[in-house]
Structures are given as C-alpha cells and as structure tokens.
Amino acid sequence: MPDPADALSEHAVERLIAYRRHLRQRLMQGCDRIYSHDLAKPEGVTPAQVRRDLMTIGYTGSPARGYDAKGLITHISSLLDARSVGGFALVGVGHLGRAILDYLARQHPEYKVAAFDVNPDKAGGVTHGCRCYMLDEMKQVLTQQSMRVGIVTVPADAAQDAATRLVEAGVCGLLNFAPVRLRVPARVYVENVDIALRLEKVAFFALASRPKETQE
C-alpha cells in the first residue's frame, strides 16, 4: 500500500509543520478548538488553503466548531513523524553548528545527535550534550546509531567533502547551510538554507519601492 505521506508536496509539508507548531502554541494558551482562519493568518495563506491541506490528509472539522486542536496535532504528527530518521549528524562545530546543536538539545531531546569537526580540539568534547567526533569516525558512528539526516555547517570549501562523507556513511537527507550546490546521488534529498543569499536579498528589497513579504 502506498504511504499517503508520499503524496504530499514540499510546500504542503512545510505548511503542515507550521500548522502543527501554531496548534501547539494555541493549545498551551488553553485554546482547544481552532478555525481554519486562525491557522491561515499567521502562516500567510488563505483559510481555503488550510481546509484543502487538512482535507488532503484526511482530517475534517465542523464549520461551526472548527477543528479539535489536540486531535489535529496527533493526526499531523502521525504523518510527519511516522518515519524515524534515527538522528542527526552535524558536520562543522562553529557558531552556526552550535546554534543548531543547542536548538536540537532543547527542542528535540528525543533525537540522537552526533557532531563532527576537523579540529581535534573540538573532537572528543561534548557540546550541548552532544558528543563531537573526528571526521574519520563518521562511518562507524552513523552505522552504529542509524542516523539518516546530515547537517552541513562547514565553510563553503569544505561542504562537498562533508556531504560526500555523510552520504557514504548512509544519510539520505542533507540540510546544507554552505553557499554551494552539493553534488550527491539522486536518492539523497537536499534542502539548502543559503543565509548569505538571504542577507543580500533582504538588503536589496529593504530599499525597493514595492514592499513585499516573503513566505517560506
């Protein structure tokens, strides 16, 4: 039987992640029912888009009473978290790497995380509860711990080598912060977060005549 999650587009997955985050916030504020327009507004989409997305994943609300927040969170999570990524392997323990290790430790203590760095002073240490290894140890560590997602936070000139090592060690998804296009096999999913490009872009549009807002 095909996995229904496979039918979701990249944008649909991004919206579901954002809806779930918003639902959790509302639930913490004591709000246990939510309408499509409540979810639409903070995400910059239309209420019709929200209803379409939730219909696609087979969740229905009532026009009068809205959606049950807790039930919807559980339903979205059953789709998004069904596949276990095992954990994250991060290469490059600089400031950006530490920011992400810190985020993972605080927000996702359920994930196993291993860090790798060329600097022998960093390898062997522990950052935000995460053990740091030498690059040469990657294959062994990732195989033992079945980590399937790699995070590349090294400088541009070291990014391809980091990606190649991660793929050889078995990862099938990469979150790449280096401002380069990685060459990887087609089966590996790559998500690029190009901070340098975003910085130049906002500098350009800050002074443009037509103000716009970028949705991500």
- Note the residues at the interface with its own copies (CB under 8 A): 3, 5-6, 10, 13-14, 17-18, 21, 42-44, 80, 83-85, 88, 94-96, 98-100, 102-104, 107, 148-149, 151, 171-175, 179-181, 186-216
Instruction: DSSP letter for 150, please.
Output: E
Nearer to its own copies, 134 or 188 (CB): 188
Nearer to its own copies, 60 or 209 (CB): 209
**β-bridge pairing 149-152 and 173-176:** parallel
Nearer to its own copies, 118 or 190 (CB): 190
Which token pair is 209? 């005549």
Comparing CB distances to its own copies, the nearer of 140 and 205 is 205
- Which DSSP helix (H) or strand (E) runs through 112? strand 112-117
User: How near is the Cβ of 58 to its own copies at its closest, in Å?
Assistant: 17
Q: Which helix (H) or strand (E) holds 42?
A: helix 36-43
Which secondary structure element, helix H or strand E, spans residue 30, and what is its range?
A: none
CB-based contacts of 75, cutoff 8 Å, min separation 6: 57, 58, 59
**Residue 173 corresponds to which tokens in the numbers above?**
């998804």
